[in-house]
Amino acid sequence: MKKVYKALTIAGSDSGGGAGIQADLKTFQELKVFGMSALTAVTAQNTLGVQGVYPLSVEAVKQQIESIGTDLGTDAVKTGMLFSSEIIQAVAEKIKQFGWKNIVVDPVMIAKGGAPLLQDEAVSALKNDLLPLATVITPNIPEAEVLTEISIRTLKDRQKAAKRLHELGVKYVVIKGGHDEGESEAVDLLYDGEEFSYFKSKRLETKNTHGTGCTFAAAITAELAKGSNVKEAVQTAKDFIQAAIENELGIGHGHGPTNHWAYREKKR
């Protein structure tokens, strides 16, 4: 029988379908990986913002992961919105219990409109409990600043922050450049503990970038599940997100979602 590659996302639900669990599962599907999910929180959300956040109990999060670990197993895991230090600790414990590899941590902190998706006091649990298990971390510039306490203005600052995150136990650090506004290119930096690589694309002028971070990290996760190395996975993710932003859907009245099927259509 043909090998089926599997990926698990541990994240929050975005009712608007552009970010969170919904973005992750759509991306896994587009990249031909069987997607599974463990919900950490339900958000009432649309392109205009976040109207409500309802975290699940730690027990509910643990049990979902347990259900997957004791039956299906997975080739890769992505974490997104984790909300609290209790949930982070439970997720770290389960990842260790099942000995899972290919762990991609997207350290989601704040939604585009400013709503907090991670409690302030959970940052230390993220650093101490989850980062040492991470194969890849994918912060945007503001998230990298919070995690490293380094103010990032220049490329040198970004390199310094990447080194600091590597010291916290992450094998591969990707600091995304979506927030580096004013530049003509969107440049993502990868640090593997020895050297830096850069993944560049034309910066697209649009307000429809809701869920770009989730989608990008989910694409890395899917590619790792299929056996790609990290550099190949980041390149595919970069191509995937570029196509998804370029072919925006134009739905909703605010920051619209990206187009998850654009990459497949482009490849056809």
Ligand X SMILES: Nc1ncnc2c1ncn2[C@@H]1O[C@H](COP(=O)(O)OP(=O)(O)OP(=O)(O)O)[C@@H](O)[C@H]1O
Ligand Y SMILES: Cc1ncc(COP(=O)(O)O)c(N)n1
Residues that bind ligand X (CB under 6 A): 112, 140, 176-179, 186, 188, 201, 203-204, 209-213, 216, 238, 241-242, 245
Q: Which residues pair with 136 in a beta bridge?
A: 104, 172
Nearer Cβ to ligand Y, position 82 or 125?
Answer: 82
User: Which of ligand Y, ligand X, none does residue 176 bind to, with CB < 5 to 8 Å depending on kind?
Assistant: ligand X
- Residue 256 CB, nearest distance to ligand X (Å)? 11
Nearer Cβ to ligand X, position 96 or 153?
Answer: 153
- Residue 69 CB, nearest distance to ligand X (Å)? 27
Q: Which residues pair with 38 in a beta bridge?
A: 10
User: Which of ligand X, ligand Y, none does residue 226 bind to, with CB < 5 to 8 Å depending on kind?
Assistant: none
- Residue 229 CB, nearest distance to ligand Y (Å)? 24
Nearer Cβ to ligand Y, position 6 or 210?
Answer: 210
User: Which of ligand X, ligand Y, none does residue 104 bind to, with CB < 5 to 8 Å depending on kind?
Assistant: none
Rounded to an integer, what distance in angstroms lies between the CA atom of residue 13 and that of residue 34? 18
Alpha-carbon distances, residue 254 vs 60, 121, 162, 230, 250 (angstroms): 32, 30, 32, 33, 9
Residue nearest to ligand Y (CB): 20
Nearer Cβ to ligand X, position 26 or 176?
Answer: 176
Rounded to an integer, what distance in angstroms lies between the CA atom of residue 265 and that of residue 145? 36
CB 233 within 8 A of CB 224: yes
> Which sequence positions are flagged as catalytic?
176, 209, 211-214
**Site residues for ligand Y per CB under 6 A:** 11-14, 19-20, 43, 45, 80-81, 108, 111-112, 117, 210-214
Nearer Cβ to ligand X, position 22 or 64?
Answer: 22
CB 144 within 8 A of CB 171: no
CB neighbour burial string for 135-146, b if at least 16 within 10 angstroms, e if fewer: bbbbbbbebbbb
User: Which of ligand Y, ligand X, none does residue 201 bind to, with CB < 5 to 8 Å depending on kind?
Assistant: ligand X
